[in-house]
Amino acid sequence: MSSHPVFARLYGRFAPAAEQAGTGEHRDELLAGLRGRVIEVGAGSGLCFAHYPNTVDEVVAIEPEPYLRRLAEKAVGVAPIPVRVIAGTADNLPADDESFDAAVASLVLCSIPDPRRALEEIHRVLHPGGSLRFYEHVRSSDPRQAHFQDRIDGIWPFFCGGCHVNRESESAISAAGFSIERSRRFDFRPCAIAAPASPHIIGEAVRL
Ligand SMILES: C[S@@+](CC[C@H](N)C(=O)[O-])C[C@H]1O[C@@H](n2cnc3c(N)ncnc32)[C@H](O)[C@@H]1O
């Protein structure tokens, strides 16, 4: 979403309402038990920051979109742990090899132009055995709903900052050299318009 100023403003305006509808609880689940140095990829307006446990030493939050990055910089104040917000993209993470204990991908693999490359980068910057926490909306396991998602994906990214509704993010994570330790599938839509993006996964993968 590095150049989607209209969607960025809409996301900044409406995402907080989704937090009340359940996204906030999902963020608690996503981040529970994390420790050490964490890199968050595509941090958006920083809505995860308040949910990090105090066992985390530092979060480096990468965000390419300037408006959302400014919101994220303001959200640093609500985080219980130190957070640094840095401009950058997931396909070329500004981080050394094997320099993080954990990585977080929250509602982001849908929007990254090249998720395979992004996952390779996340793999590169994690220690072997490091944890990738993921919370993503994905392609439905119901063929009829998946077919509907494929159709609507012809226009959805144009209106939603490059977001795709039909990505198979769990298999992409496995293919990038991670072992899925746990993954929970559920339907969630914080508002009616989000129906095509209702199938979600949340879980943890370990860097092999
Ligand atoms: C739907 S928003 C989610 C934001 C945040 N992670 C959250 O949970 O609220 C998608 C995010 O992906 C980011 N994004 C898009 N392309 C990216 C890329 N190549 N690298 C990193 N982030 C990217 C966008 O700028 C945006 O912040």
What distances in angstroms separate CA 180 from CA 24, 33, 50, 120, 130, one per listed residue? 23, 17, 26, 15, 12
Indicate the DSSP class of residue 48. Answer: T
Q: Mean pLDDT throughout 124-144?
A: 98
Q: How far is the CA of 26 from the centre of ligand 1 (A)?
A: 17
Q: Which two tokens stand for residue 146?
A: 């998946």
Q: How far is the CA of 35 from the centre of ligand 1 (A)?
A: 23
Residues flanking ligand 1, CB < 6 Å? 1-2, 11, 15, 41-44, 47-48, 62-65, 68, 89-91, 106-108, 111-113
Q: Which two tokens stand for residue 20?
A: 């009340």
**Distance in angstroms (rounded) separating the CA atoms of residues 54 and 45:** 20
pLDDT of 3 above 70 = no
pLDDT of 4 above 90 = no
pTM: 0.97
* Residue nearest (by alpha carbon) to ligand 1 atom 25: 1
**pLDDT digits 0-9 by tens, 16-67:** 889 999 999 999 999 999 999 999 999 999 999 999 999 999 999 999 999 9
